[in-house]
Amino acid sequence: MDLQQIKQRFGIIGNSSALKQALNISVQVAPTDISVLITGESGTGKEVIPKVIHQLSARKHGSYIAVNCGAIPEGTIDSELFGHEKGSFTGAHDQRKGYFEVADNGTIFLDEVAELPLTTQVRLLRVLETGEFIRVGSSQPIKTNVRIIAATNENMLQAIQTGKFREDLFYRLSTVPIKLPPLRQRKDDIHLLFRKFASDFAEKYRMPSIRLTDDAIHVLNNYNWPGNIRQLKNVTEQISVVENSRDISGEILQTYLPDYTATNLPILASTASKESDFSERDLLYKVLFDMKKDLGELKKMVVNMLREGTDDLSSEDRNDMISKLYPEPGTKRPNLLAEPYIYNEDTTVHTPDQYGNGYEEHIEVEESLSLEDREKELIQKALEKHRGKRKYAAQDLGISERTLYRKIKEYDLK
């Protein structure tokens, strides 16, 4: 079966090289039992690839079960995946088979696998290594012959670094990695997908299909599509139902894309790690402190010039300028690079005499440059911003909730 037949059978639309590569890898690994990890942004159609692999494999007559790991509560996910014995926990009135037992000789697709709790990851690793699992509340191992295909839209290496995902499980799952490209990297496929969705909705709602003008096609292709194919399908359905005219102009299309900016300039992808936001903040602090140091050096040069004297300034003007550069102890002066601070009362400052002599430079009290202080300050601000909700504060900071909890205890934050 060639790629064109596969695309027709599974309703896959597109001719981009990255999409063809993903399908080619799927066809090659289908006859094997190798574990596959599918990565890509949300809405790129990752759920289609496991179906292709299953239907082209020797397991096609066995069960195919798709599990959304992020939609199952942490307290019940072990029971869902591996089953449980009667009386193993409150509410366990009967013995129950899990997905791994039901899908024996078939395929299990674990969508959003990065959302699995660490305890469940240990159980899953055992299935991959030994082909055995144990029901909740039991001590008897059960054999299973299941092929596992996983998918995630998260940066797995970052998840490993933050302790959210086990490194050994990652390498067992990603024996063969398949990456699906975001829609913005499939420019030639965007209009094809729009026309397909428009035709489907026209048939569904029994109305003429919508069409795009040339300027609308330009808008369509230049939009970033952060929600990828899912967002494109949603926008197409909205326009099909709401608009009376079947000819859609660029102006009309833009009303359904509120964050549209007409530009072809490179943009930062939405998949950039939140961890990088932290790095940018640290870099900004460094730049500001370097600027502050440079200003200090410049100030010293000016004072030296004033001390040496110049024919254009009187000694009174020189004294006045020096006093502005170095105020008396205990007085405040504005600082553009940091919060205003007060000079140390113990610092000795000698004002030059009328000849510009006898000047001694004072010592400034610098604010703390400790990274721990900065980290503590940022964590405190994130907690205040989200009113103490650790989950959202951790997302804003780009760290796991477990790491944030540890930092809160370490810094004794409220």
pLDDT at 270: 45
Q: What's the CA gap between 339 and 346, in Å, rounded?
A: 21
- Does residue 205 share a domain with residue 166? no
Question: What CATH number should be reported for the domain holding residue 406?
Answer: 1.10.10
Confidence of residue 79 (pLDDT cuts 50, 70, 90): very high
Q: What is the mean pLDDT of residues 11-35?
A: 94
- Does residue 343 share a domain with residue 243? no
65 with 99: CB under 8 angstroms?
yes
**Residue of higher predicted confidence among 307 and 49:** 49
281 with 378: CB under 8 angstroms?
yes
**Residue of higher predicted confidence among 282 and 258:** 258
Question: What CATH number should be reported for the domain holding residue 108?
Answer: 3.40.50.300
Q: What is the mean pLDDT of residues 313-329?
A: 59
Residue 187 backbone class (left: φ over 0; alpha: ψ -120 to 50; beta: rest): alpha
- Does residue 141 share a domain with residue 25? yes
Classify 361 as helix, strand or coil: coil
Residue 268 located in a structural domain? no
Residue among 191, 129, 138, 208 nearest 166 (CA):
129
Phi, psi dihedrals of residue 35, rounded to the nearest 5°: -75, 145
Q: How far is CA 380 from the centre of its chain?
A: 22
Residue 165 located in a structural domain? yes
Starting at the edge strand that comes first in sequence, how are the strands of the sheet with 64-68 ordered?
A: 64-68, 107-111, 147-152, 36-39, 176-179
Q: What's the CA gap between 162 and 273, in Å, rounded?
A: 12
Q: What's the CA gap between 118 and 114, in Å, rounded?
A: 10
Q: Which structural domain range is residue 346 located in?
A: 275-367
- Does residue 323 share a domain with residue 287? yes
What's the DSSP call for residue 402?
Answer: H
**End residue of a domain, out of 157, 181, 205:** 181
pLDDT at 74 over 90: no
> Angle, to 10 degrees, between the axis of helix 390-397 and the axis of helix 401-411?
100
- Does residue 223 share a domain with residue 114? no
Tell me which residue has tokens 């191992």.
141
Confidence of residue 21 (pLDDT cuts 50, 70, 90): very high
Mean pLDDT of the chain: 82
- Does residue 57 share a domain with residue 10? yes
> Other CB atoms closer than 10 Å to residue 399's CB: what's the count?
23
Q: Number of structural domains, the chain?
A: 4
Residue 262 located in a structural domain? no
**Residue of higher predicted confidence among 281 and 91:** 91
- Does residue 217 share a domain with residue 114? no
pLDDT at 333: 46
Confidence of residue 261 (pLDDT cuts 50, 70, 90): low
pLDDT in tens, 166-200: 999 999 999 999 999 999 999 999 999 999 999 99
For the ranges 251-255, 301-305, 312-316, the maximum mean pLDDT occurs at 251-255
pLDDT at 336 over 50: no
pLDDT at 404: 82
pLDDT at 201 over 90: yes
Q: What's the CA gap between 26 and 57, in Å, rounded?
A: 10
Residue 37 located in a structural domain? yes
Residue 148 located in a structural domain? yes
- Does residue 165 share a domain with residue 70? yes
pLDDT at 280: 58
Residue among 230, 156, 190 nearest 16 (CA):
190
- Does residue 242 share a domain with residue 155? no
Confidence of residue 35 (pLDDT cuts 50, 70, 90): very high
Confidence of residue 319 (pLDDT cuts 50, 70, 90): low
Question: What CATH number should be reported for the domain holding residue 194?
Answer: 1.10.8.60
**Residue of higher predicted confidence among 346 and 331:** 331
Q: Which helix (H) or strand (E) holds 212?
A: strand 211-212
- Does residue 228 share a domain with residue 140? no
Q: Which of 15-24, 40-49, 313-322, 376-385 has the lowest mean pLDDT?
A: 313-322
pLDDT at 172: 95
Q: What is the mean pLDDT of residues 25-44?
A: 95
Q: Which of 40-44, 126-130, 220-224, 410-414 has the lowest mean pLDDT?
A: 410-414
**Residue of higher predicted confidence among 270 and 192:** 192
Residue 248 located in a structural domain? yes
- Does residue 251 share a domain with residue 167? no
First-to-final CA distance of the chain: 62
99 with 67: CB under 8 angstroms?
yes
Classify 358 as helix, strand or coil: coil
Alpha-carbon distances, residue 58 vs 50, 131, 225, 324 (angstroms): 14, 18, 37, 84
pLDDT at 374: 74
- Does residue 286 share a domain with residue 147? no
Q: What's the CA gap between 334 and 285, in Å, rounded?
A: 18
**Residue of higher predicted confidence among 409 and 282:** 409
Q: What is the mean pLDDT of residues 245-261?
A: 88
Please state whether the predicted TM-score (pTM) of the whole model is above 0.85. Answer: no
Please give the full DSSP string across 227-252, using - where no structure is assigned.
THHHHHHHHHHHHHHH-S-SEE-HHH
Residue 141 located in a structural domain? yes
Which residues make beta-bridge pairs with 177?
Answer: 37
pLDDT at 287: 66
pLDDT at 33 over 90: yes
Measure the CA dihedral 363/367/372/376, to 10°.
Answer: 160
Residue 270 located in a structural domain? no
Share of the chain above pLDDT 70, in %: 74
Please give the full DSSP string across 259-288, using - where no structure is assigned.
T-----S----TTS-HHHHHHHHHHHHHHH
**Residue of higher predicted confidence among 393 and 286:** 393
Measure the CA dihedral 364/367/369/374, to 10°.
Answer: -170
pLDDT at 24 over 90: yes
